[in-house]
Amino acid sequence: MTPFELGFASVIAIVALIYLGVYIPVALGLVSFVAIWLMRDNFQLALNLLKIAVGDSVTEYAFATVPLFTFMGLVVSKAGLGTDIYRVMNRVFRAVRGGLGMATVGANAVFAAVTGSSIASASVFTKVAVPEMLRLGYTPRFAVGVVAGSSVLGMIIPPSAMLIIYALVAQQSVGHMFLAGIVPGILLAIAYIGAILVMGAVTPGFVGGSTARPTSGGDTPDGDGLGPLQAVLLTLPVAILITVVLGGIYTGWLTPVEAGAAGSAVALAIALLRGRMTLSGFWSALLETGHITAAILFLITTASMYSRMLGFAGLPNALADLLAAHELSFVGVMVLYVLLMLFLGTLLDTASIILIVVPLFLPIVEPMGVSLVWFGIITVIGAEIGLLTPPLGISCFVIKSTLDDPAINLKDVFLGALPFAAVMLLVLIVLIRFPTLSVGLLG
């Protein structure tokens, strides 16, 4: 087999192994190592490249953002800020049909700005929002669908683990990626709220619910009885965190690593002041941070090996020549790219898609003069649609596993999330058509 044939076969082998359940970095590293060994018939060369991949990746200073923002997100979740934001947002939207769904979207958007995890958002708001929506007469499919749809905001609105992974794979600034994710994340949240408003007017049977509130008296988890001063006090901790992290990065006062450290310190102080952090909870957060960080860094190390294998095989250049031979324009390349991500999204998780597809397409789009920061936003949003689509749909599986309701099955979750996946696709098209929406804040 020629190097090109080996490279092409290795990509197929990686996808197949991941789909069969092999741990993602193991599949990336093992296939890449063997492919380089076979291409050059040199075991020592493959071993040396593995050493270089480790040295050139996890030893970089920028990787410190991974544990810091992970720890901050875990502490914020333990501090109960998600529930507080949900109560405030529900008070804002409660007079509108579908208002509880809009409140869930708004709360998820704010929660995403201090956690950066779709899985955390899905878990928190499944416990907080779904029971309230069902209590107030919303349909089960809408209740779980809006949580699934809005949970993906955690991977788009910074700080985001996927933006960090893309930045490191594409060798872009983490700070620039964070800034570029702000407007698209807000735009997607607004699109979700608008979609819920339309669904409430056009398909009220799908949404269900009512603007009437229960008359049990007192304050309830959905925000009744919450005064203006209480609402301000509940949102103040989140506002402080967002100001410290994103404000520090945007003004240039803090690097992304320093912002992660400052955000972690502030989140820990908030949790302690609220009495939500014990010694055992702190140790649990540290251990979970270590587990998540090790997994992400292992992923990026093996992805570095995979990129080198692709270079040895000449696969990116061959793909570029193939697209040039068919005279595909920039629009054609982007259509092909989005379709490929949508297809892979039905099989793989977001990190896998980014690690497999980005090294293939970067050498193609970079000569076209496009911003690689903008390309990263398109990549993350396109890959995130896969969180809502079967058969993998990680957010949908998290919601189902978190729900304590046998009456709601996995099919209900996927069907409920379908309208929100469609909204994501429309927003993705808008961002492709108007790149300024992503890179405007970069100046």
- 80/97 Cα distance (integer angstroms): 27
20-29, 168-177, 335-344: least confident range: 20-29
Q: Is the pLDDT of residue 38 over 90?
A: no
Q: Which of 366, 344, 346 is nearest to 357 (CA)?
A: 344
- 109/157 Cα distance (integer angstroms): 7
Helix (DSSP H) and strand (DSSP E) numbers for the chain: 22, 0
Average pLDDT, integer, range 410-430: 91
Give 319: exposed, middle or buried? Use CB within 10 Å, 0-12, 13-18, 19+. Answer: middle
Tens digit of each residue's pLDDT (9 = 90 or more) over 103-115: 889 888 888 777 7
Tens digit of each residue's pLDDT (9 = 90 or more) over 105-148: 988 888 877 776 677 777 778 888 888 888 888 899 999 999 88
The whole-number pLDDT of residue 392 equals 66
The whole-number pLDDT of residue 431 equals 94
The whole-number pLDDT of residue 277 equals 84
Tens digit of each residue's pLDDT (9 = 90 or more) over 390-414: 766 777 777 887 777 788 888 888 8
- 146/151 Cα distance (integer angstroms): 8
The whole-number pLDDT of residue 210 equals 61
- 331/108 Cα distance (integer angstroms): 32
Q: Which residue has the higher pLDDT, 121 or 422?
A: 422
Cα 111 to chain centroid distance, Å, stands at 13
The whole-number pLDDT of residue 224 equals 53
Tens digit of each residue's pLDDT (9 = 90 or more) over 287-307: 988 888 887 778 777 877 777
Give the mean pLDDT of the chain: 82
Tens digit of each residue's pLDDT (9 = 90 or more) over 193-231: 999 999 988 888 888 876 544 433 334 444 555 677 787
Tokens representing 150?
């809005």
Would you place residue 183 in the very low, low, confident or very high pLDDT band (cuts 50, 70, 90)? very high
pTM above 0.85, yes or no: no
- 14/12 Cα distance (integer angstroms): 5
Radius of gyration of the chain (CA): 22
Q: List the chain domain ranges.
A: 3-442
- Residue 89 contacts residue 95 (beta carbons within 8 Å): no
Q: List beta partners, residue 138.
A: 208
Q: List beta partners, residue 208.
A: 138
What is the percent of the chain with per-residue pLDDT over 90, rounded to a whole number? 15
The whole-number pLDDT of residue 434 equals 92
The whole-number pLDDT of residue 214 equals 43
